Amino acid sequence: MKIFVILSISLLSLTLAITQQNEIYPVTQKTKELLFYIQRNHNSNTIVYNANFDTVGNLIDHKPIDVFWIRYDEQGQRMELRTIEKMFAYGVECKKIKNKENQYKVKLVAKKDKEIILIQHDKFKATVYTMINNKLSSLNHLYIQADNSGMWPSVKYIELFGVDTKTKENTYEKIMN
């Protein structure tokens, strides 16, 4: 009986946490351009990483990823990243992979050691891939837990969410800082 009560309370807590997270963190609308997004514990504003296609559906070589805010805490409007955010927090560095058509190495400026590959599969269709819990996965989104008590925020942990490219099952990994 005691185990049943503990399991019931745990299940209820998990359900409430998921419900609260969905209320606090809106799910970014899936579009043909959306590659992945980042949500943080500070507020519901979200950083979006979109494929940057030209008018015929090819990735733009000099800037294949367009990064911006969706300001859900305001009117849900788009806002460009500030220069400091691009340089130290949410910007990306993209480099075309030699001898690989439509493939780019992507580095998040805040986590340069995490290997991410952007591949265009077809006109207006691109995906980012990375290893999540030792499984090659298409990246869906990240969650960052940070501490704002100091002069500069410090990241406590990052959670990665994706889909295994082989099994199509959800993948998850928590990286402690």
Identify which of 133, 127, 131, 157 has the alpha carbon closest to the alpha carbon of residue 40.
157
Mean pLDDT of the region 110-135? 96
**Alpha-carbon span 74 to 45, nearest angstrom:** 9
Domain boundaries, the chain: 29-176
pLDDT confidence tier of residue 7, bands split at 50, 70 and 90: very low
CB 136 within 8 A of CB 143: no
This prediction has a pTM of 0.84
Residue that the structure tokens 């992945």 belong to: 36
pLDDT tens, residue by residue, 87-105: 989 999 999 999 998 999 9
CB 36 within 8 A of CB 28: no
